[in-house]
């Protein structure tokens, strides 16, 4: 892929990932044009104040629910990185129709605009919450994954491909548990819902690099999953708020004890690429069957946060937190 000839649109471009991805594109890859698409003018202004600007960068006010506005923003781009979503679990539960309109119907609008304008590559960002979902947010992201993968069916003979990236919690991203612990440590006590709880963790820079590599290798229909470390939430609390009392308050509605990134059923059609997994599509309407790469996974394999072979070390956590969001 020749980045210098590529026009890129980032939906949800003012979020933690979008900011970091835009910054990296401008610094390292230098695409022909980068367009930030989001509905928050204040965050766009703040991005510009932070120096995320340049002659090839454009800011578009708009909502992925608005297909006409999205269609205007998509014209002339070659790649869409779709990061826009409603992500707060309680907010999605309390506003279920809004979650569906943004996360599912908004994703449909992105895919339809790409097909309409012949955008060559679309990569949708997903989450471990989409795997065996127990809350509405996860369910909407599962739907977003599925319609992204199956959108390849509508490409026909054109070189238009759709894939997904699925990863865990992003350290120090806006609204993360790390920020909650940082606020709570001021009073000498932090709240943990369940001391057994584990999560997958990825640094923002790692997430950006992984997405860029998936753009370069995608063939259409894959769900890419990075191999990332786990950490117990209680251990995270101890590192972020050393010396503070930890109070166990009980698991919240819509929460899991452990997360999964690759299920046993998915592992039957997934491959090990060394530093990541790729879940190949089960249906092959667009002629991709038999393209296996990497190694087959063992029978019954499941990529879980509690049985993960890699665990986040305290020194690595401190290093990642010092970098902060978007740096």
Alpha helical stretches, state H, the chain: 16-24, 41-49, 67-74, 89-94, 96-99, 106-117, 136-150, 177-184, 204-217, 233-240, 264-267, 314-323
Using DSSP's 3-state secondary structure scheme, residue 17 falls into helix
Rounded to whole angstroms, the maximal C-alpha distance in the chain is 61
Phi-psi category of residue 30: left, alpha or beta, with phi > 0 → left and psi -120 to 50 → alpha? left
* From 19, 43, 87, 129, active-site residue: 129
Crossing angle of helices 233-240 and 314-323, rounded to 10°: 60
Q: Which residue has the tokens 């979902």?
A: 133
Q: What angle do CA 299, 306, 263 make, to 5 degrees?
A: 35
The answer to whether 141 is a known catalytic residue is: no
Q: Which residue reads 């930030």 in tokens?
A: 36
Look up residue 131 and give its two tokens.
């795997």
Among all residues, which ones are annotated catalytic? Answer: 129
């Amino acid at each position: 892929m020749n980045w210098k000839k590529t026009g890129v649109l980032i939906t949800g471009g003012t979020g933690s990932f979008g900011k970091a991805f835009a910054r990296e594109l401008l610094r390292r890859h230098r695409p022909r044009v980068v367009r930030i698409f989001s509905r928050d003018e204040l965050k766009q202004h703040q991005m510009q104040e932070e120096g995320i600007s340049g002659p090839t960068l454009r800011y578009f006010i708009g909502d992925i629910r608005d297909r006409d506005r999205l269609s205007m923003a998509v014209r002339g781009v070659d790649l869409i990185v779709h990061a826009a979503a409603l992500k707060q679990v309680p907010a999605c539960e309390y506003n279920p129709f809004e979650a569906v309109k943004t996360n599912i119907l908004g994703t449909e609008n992105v895919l339809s605009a790409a097909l309409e304008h012949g955008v060559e590559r679309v990569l949708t960002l997903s989450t471990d919450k989409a795997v065996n979902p127990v809350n509405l947010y996860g369910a909407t992201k599962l739907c977003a994954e599925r319609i992204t993968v199956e959108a390849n069916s509508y490409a026909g003979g054109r070189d238009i491909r759709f894939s997904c990236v699925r990863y865990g919690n992003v350290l120090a991203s806006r609204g993360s548990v790390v920020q909650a612990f940082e606020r709570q440590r001021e009073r000498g006590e932090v709240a943990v819902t369940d001391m057994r709880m584990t999560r997958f963790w990825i640094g923002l820079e790692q997430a950006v690099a992984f997405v860029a590599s998936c753009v370069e290798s995608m063939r259409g229909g894959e769900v890419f999953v990075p191999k990332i470390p786990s950490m117990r939430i209680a251990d995270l609390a101890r590192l972020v708020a050393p010396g503070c009392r930890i109070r166990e308050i009980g698991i919240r509605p819509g929460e899991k004890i452990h997360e999964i990134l690759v299920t046993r059923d998915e592992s039957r059609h997934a491959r090990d690429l060394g530093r990541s997994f790729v879940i190949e599509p089960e249906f092959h309407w667009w002629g991709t069957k038999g393209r296996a790469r990497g190694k087959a996974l063992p029978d019954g394999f499941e990529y879980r946060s509690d049985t993960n072979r890699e665990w986040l070390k305290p020194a690595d956590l401190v290093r990642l937190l010092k970098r902060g969001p978007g740096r």
